[in-house]
Amino acid sequence: MLFAYGYLRVATPDWQTPFKSGSIINVAIMTFVLITSSLTMLGAVDASKAGDKPKALRFLASTMMLGLIFAGPCISASGSVCLMKESS
């Protein structure tokens, strides 16, 4: 399956080329935010299992903030979700 993907990508002239702009920096930042939010959720679960409600709520709040940072560029004030398109 990986071979077929590679073949199709090389054989298709209109295949979208990644990293034409500074997108690698955006990808690195969003990956960091996503991994960090996973770790804060793990901390919330551990604190909840230990019965430490204030600590669990702090971790949950951190997880929600990181989730908003991750999804924020695609959520407008009206609540509609954008479809991110690469500019030509």
Distance CA 10, CA 59 (A): 45
pLDDT digits (tens, 9 = 90+) for 24-73: 777 888 899 999 999 999 999 999 999 999 999 999 999 999 988 888 76
Q: Are 78 and 8 in contact (CB under 8 A)?
A: no
Structural domain boundaries of the chain?
A: 23-73
> What gap in Å lies between CA 4 and CA 35, rounded to an integer?
30
**Do 69 and 40 contact (CB within 8 A), yes or no?**
no
pTM over 0.85: no
Q: What is the pLDDT of residue 88?
A: 45
Q: Is the Cβ–Cβ distance between 63 and 47 less than 8 Å?
A: no
